[in-house]
Amino acid sequence: MYFGRNDYDPHVVNEAQTRLQSFQGASSISSNQYFGREDEEDDLGGPGNTEGLLGDGSLAGLESAARNAYARILANPDVQNVGDSIRTGALKVRAPSRF
C-alpha cells in the first residue's frame, strides 16, 4: 500500500518506539544508528587504522579505497540517470533522420 495505508502492525510500532527511546537525551544520531545498521569502516584510515593511505607513509589500500569510491558514485541514482540521458541523446544523434 502506498504510504503504508491499511498496513498497521502494532509490533512494528512498538519496535520503533523502543528504538526511539534508546536515543533519549542524545544530541544527535546517525541514520545507521536509527535503523540498527553497523557503521561502515572507511578504507581511508579511520580511527585506529594506522596502516595504509599515508598513515604509515605508504599508499597501501589505495586501490580498494578507489574501488569503493567508484562503486559508491556509480550506485547513486542521479549518476545512473545522467548516464541514461547521455546514452539516449547519443542514440538520437546517431540515428539517421528520415523526413
Q: Using CA atoms, how far apart are residues 62 and 64, in angstroms rounded to an integer?
A: 6
Q: Which pLDDT score, from 0 to 100, does residue 44 have?
A: 47
Residue 96 has pLDDT above 60, yes or no: yes
Q: Which pLDDT score, from 0 to 100, does residue 43 have?
A: 46
Per-residue pLDDT of 25-47, as tens digits, reads: 888 888 888 777 776 655 444 44
CB 43 within 8 A of CB 60: no
Per-residue pLDDT of 44-81, as tens digits, reads: 444 445 555 556 666 767 888 888 888 888 888 888 88
Q: Which pLDDT score, from 0 to 100, does residue 26 have?
A: 81
C-alpha 78: how far from its chain's center? Answer: 12
The dihedral of CA 38, 42, 46, 52: what is its sign? Answer: positive
The dihedral of CA 77, 78, 83, 85: what is its sign? Answer: positive
Q: Which pLDDT score, from 0 to 100, does residue 41 have?
A: 56
Show me where the domains of the chain are located: 2-40+60-94
Confidence of residue 2 (pLDDT cuts 50, 70, 90): low
CA diameter of the chain? 69
Question: Hey, what's the cell of 98?
Answer: 528520415
